[in-house]
Structure 1
Amino acid sequence: MEWTMQLPKQTGRQVGRGWTVAALASIPLVMTLGNSMLIPVLPVMGKQLGITPVQSSLVITMYSIVAILFIPVAGYISDRIGRKKVIVPSLFLAATGGMLAGWTAWRMDDPYVWIIAGRMLQGLGAAGAFPIVLPLVGDLFPNDDEASSCLGTIETANTFGKVLSPILGALLAGLVWFLPFFSFPVFCLVSVVMMASFVRAPTRRERPLPFRAFVAMVGAIFRREGRWLVGVFAIGGLLMLVLFAFLFFLSSRLEDVYRIDGMMKGWVLAIPLGALCLASFAAGKVIGDHKWRMKWGIIAGSALSALALAIVPLYPSLSFLMALFSAAGIGIGAALPCLDALITEGIEEKERGTVTSFYSSLRFIGVAAGPLLAAWLMKHGTAPLLLLLSVMALLGGAAAFWLIRPETDEGGVA
C-alpha cells in the first residue's frame, strides 16, 4: 500500500502548513484535556456520588484500558482506509462519550455506571485519534526536518494540555462538578472542524494488504527493525510511567505537606509541566532529520530526569522540589519528540500506522501504571518511590544507548 501527497497548497505556503500543523496539534491537546482535566474533579465526584476513591479512580483507569486495547486495531484500520477516515469518526465517538457521561451525571440519580460507560466510549475514541496523528505527520510531511518540527509541536500541544488540565478542570468543576464532561464534546468538535478545513489526507493508490499478509508484514518489521523498535517502545512506556508517577506524587505532596489545593495547586503543578512543554517544543526544532541527535536527546533527557529525581529526597523545601521536578520535566520533554521522530521517520509509510499504534499503547500503559505505582510506594515513604523512578529513567537512557544505533551524518554509527 502506498500513499501520494495531496498538499500542494499547504506545502507551498507557510500559512497553509501552519494551519495543518495546528489542526493536527489540536487532537493531542483535546485528548489530554479530556482525561487529565478530570483529575481535580475526582474528589468532588466521590462526594457527590457517594463512591469510594477506588471507584472514582476507575473514571481515569477505564478510559486508559479501553484505549490500550483498541489502539493497535485503529492503527491497522488506518493503514487500510486512511488516517483521516479513522481520526474524524473517532473524535465524534469521543465527543459522544463525554456527552453521555455529562448528561447522566446531570439528569440521573445514580449515574456512576453510565459515567464509566461514557468514559469507555471516550477511550475508544481516543484510540483512533492521537495515536493516528503520529503516522499522519509522516504521511503529510515527507521532509524529515518538517516532520520533526511538526512532531515537536504535537508533543508540545500534548504537554500543554497537561499544563492546562488541572487549572481548567478545577475552574469548571468549581462552577458545576460535571461541567468538564460537557466541555469535552465542544473541544472535539473544534478539532473536527480544523481537521476538515486544513488537513488534506493522502490518497491510497494500491489495495490494502489482506490480514494474513498484514500479520506477515508486522513480523517482518520486527525481524528487520526489532532491536531499536523494542528500545523505543520500552523507553516511551518507562518515561510516561515516570512522568505520571511523579505528577501523582507531587500533587499529593502539595496538598498533604504544603497545604496547597484547588486552583493554586493547579497553577503549581503547571510549573514542571510548562518546563516539559517548552523542552518538547525546543527538541522538535533542534533534532531535524538527524537520528543521532534523536538518540542522544533521549539519553541526555533520561539522564537529566534520573539525576533530578534522585536528588529530590535530599532537598524537601518547596522551592527545591519545584526546581528538581521542573528539571525532570525538561528531561522527559526533550526525549519524547525524539522517540516520536524515530518512529515516524524510521518506518516505511505503509507500516507507520501499525508500528506507532504499538508505541502509543506502551505509552498508555505507562500513563495507567504510574499513579498506581506511586500510590503503592508512597505508603513506604518518599525515597523508595523517587529512587525507583530515577532508576527507571536511567534504564530508559541505557536502552537508548545500547538498542538505538542510527548512522551519523558521516556514515558511522552513533
Structure 2
Amino acid sequence: MQEGAPIVKHKQKKKLDLAALSTIPLIMTLANSMLIPILPIMQRELKISDLQTSLIITVYAAVSIVCIPLAGYLSDRFGRKRIIVIGLAVVALGGLISGLAAWLMDAHGGYDVILLGRFVQGIGAAGAFPIVLPLVGDMFDDKEEVSSALGMIETSNTFGKVLSPVLGSALALVLWFLPLAVIPLIAVLSILAVIFFVKSPDTSKSAPTLDPNTNKRFRTFVHHTAVLLSQKGHWLYAIFAIGCLVMFIMFGFLYYLSSVLEQHYHIEGIKKGLLLAIPLSGICILSFITGKIVGENKLRMKVFGVIGLIALTAAMLTCGIVNTKSLWFLISLMFISGAGIGLVLPSLDALITEGIEKKQRGTITSLYSSARFIGVALGPLIASVMLKSEEWLFYLFAGSALLCFILALFTIKPKKSE
C-alpha cells in the first residue's frame, strides 16, 4: 500500500495537469468562435461592411500563422509552460484592448482599436494552444497515456466549438460587446490554473539559457526542419493543405450561416446560437468517435479521412446545386459537413502523431497549426466577399473539399503493415 500510494498521487496530479491544460483550447476556441454568431450585431453597432466584419476573425488567425512556428521554437528553448503563460497573458491583454474599445470608443475609432486588440490576441494564441500538444507529449512516456491525454485536450477543443455560438449569443443579449470583454477574465483563470497545477516535465528544458550561439542553434533548427520536410514532404505537405482547406470551409460556412440566419430567416439571439451549434456538434461527435476508433492504425486514419472528405464534398455541392432556402434542409447539410470534418481532423492529427518522431513532433505540429490558421483566416474573408453569390461560394467549398479528397487518396500511402 505504501508503494502504491505515490503512484496514485502521481496519477491524480497528472489529472490536475490535464484539467488545467484543457482550459487552454477551450479559451482559444471561445476567443474566436464565440464572435461568429454576433458578427452581424457588431457590423450594425460599428457601422462597418461585410469585409470589415470578417477581418475581426481574420486578423486573429492571420497573425497566429506567422507566430506559431516561432512560439514552437521558443518553447523548445525556454520551456513550454513559460511560453504558454506568456501567451495567455498576451491573449488577456488583447481582449482587454478590444473590450474597452467597444465599450468606450465611438464606432469608427472603436473598430480600429478592436482590430488592434484582436491582432494582439492572435500573437498570444500562437503561444498557447499549439504548445499544449507537444507539452502533453513531454508529460507522458506511454503511448496510450499520450493518446488518452490528447483525446481529453481535443474534447475540450471541440466542446468549446459547440459551446461558443450559444455562449456568444447569450452574452450579446446582455451587452453586444460582452463576448469581447469576458476573454481577459477567462484567460486569467487559465493562467492561474497552469501556474498552480501544471508542472514542467523536464526542468532543464524550462530554464532559459544565455547561449552565445543562439543564432547558430536557430539556423540548425531551420536546417533540421527543412531536411525533415524534404524527407516526408510528399505526405506532410498534403496534410498541411488538407488541414488548411478544411478549416477554410468550416469557418467559411459558419460565417455564411451566421449571416444568412439573421438576414434571410431573421433568427437572432440564443436560438441562432443553438442552430449554429448543430454543425459544430457534428464535428464534436464524429471527432470523438474517430479518435476512439482509429487508434494507431494509419490505414484506418486514411480511410476515415477520405470518407469524411467525400461527405463534405457532397454536402457542399448539394448546397450549391439545390435551393437551400428551406432552413432545416440547410442545417442538415451543414451537420453532414460538420460530421465529415469531424472524420477528417482527428485522422490528420493522428497521422502526424504516428508518422513523426517525438523529438520532431513539436515543430511539425506548429507548422500544421499555422496551415490550419491560414484556413481560419481565409474562410470568413472569402465568405464575406461572396455572400451575394452563395451558389458559387458553395462550389468553391465543394471544389476545395474535392481537392482535399484527391490529395488524401493519392499522397497519403500508409504501409499495409501499419
**TM-score > 0.5 by shorter chain:** yes
Matches within 5 A, 1:13-412: 13=11, 15-109=12-106, 110-203=109-202, 210-312=217-319, 313-314=321-322, 316=324, 317-382=326-391, 384-408=392-416, 411=417
Give 1:10 shift: 8.0
**CA 1:65 to 1:238, structure 2 compared with 1: closer, same or farther past 3 Å?**
same
Aligned equivalents of 1:249 and 1:193: distance in 2? Answer: 37
Taking a change above 3 Å as real, the CA distance of residues 335 and 154 of structure 1, as seen in their structure-2 partners, is farther
| Residues 373-410 of structure 1, C-alpha deviations (whole Å, 9 max, x = no match) | 2233443342x3223322322322321222222234xx
**Kindly tell me: are residues 307 and 44 of structure 1, through their superposed partners in 2, closer, same or farther at Cα, counting changes over 3 Å?**
closer
Q: Structure 1's 302 and 12: CA in aligned 2 closer, same or farther, altered over 3 A?
A: farther
Q: Tell me the alpha carbon deviations over residues 26-45 of structure 1, each in whole angstroms, 9 at most, x when there is no partner.
A: 21110111112223333333
Q: 1:360 to 1:10 in 2, by over 3 A?
A: farther
1:30 maps to a residue whose letter is I
Deviation at 1:218, TM superposition (A): 0.9
- Cα deviations by residue, 1:330-361 (Å, 9 ceiling, x for unpaired): 11012111212222332233322221111111
Q: CA deviation at 1:200?
A: 2.3
Q: Is the 8 A contact 2:286 2:339 kept in 1?
A: yes
Q: Secondary structure at the match of 1:142?
A: coil
Q: Is the 8 A contact 1:149 1:285 kept in 2?
A: no
Deviations 1:84-139 (A, max 9, x none): 12111100110111112222333344433332222111111001111112222322
Aligned-partner residue type, residue 25 of structure 1: S
SS at match of 1:111: helix
Structure 1, gaps ≥5 residues long = 1-7
Q: What is the CA–CA distance in structure 1 between the aligned matches of 2:365 and 2:295, rounded to whole Å?
A: 19
Q: CA RMSD in A?
A: 2.5
Cα deviation, residue 273, structure 1: 0.6
The Cα of 1:194 is off from its aligned counterpart by: 2.6
- Normalised to the residue count of structure 1, the TM-score between the two structures is 0.88
Contact 1:148 1:289 in 2 (8 A): no
Distance 2:13 2:201 in 1: 16
Report the identity percentage.
49
Residue 315 of structure 1 deviates from its aligned partner by 6.1
Whether the aligned pair in 2 keeps the contact of 1:79 and 1:351 (CA below 8 Å) is no
SS of the equivalent of 1:201 reads coil
Instruction: Return the alpha-carbon distance in structure 1 between the equivalents of residues 160 and 15 of structure 2.
Output: 19
Gaps of 5+ in 2: 1-5
Whole-angstrom CA distance in 2 between matches of 1:149 and 1:301: 23
Give the Cα separation in 2 of the matches to 1:117 and 1:26. 25
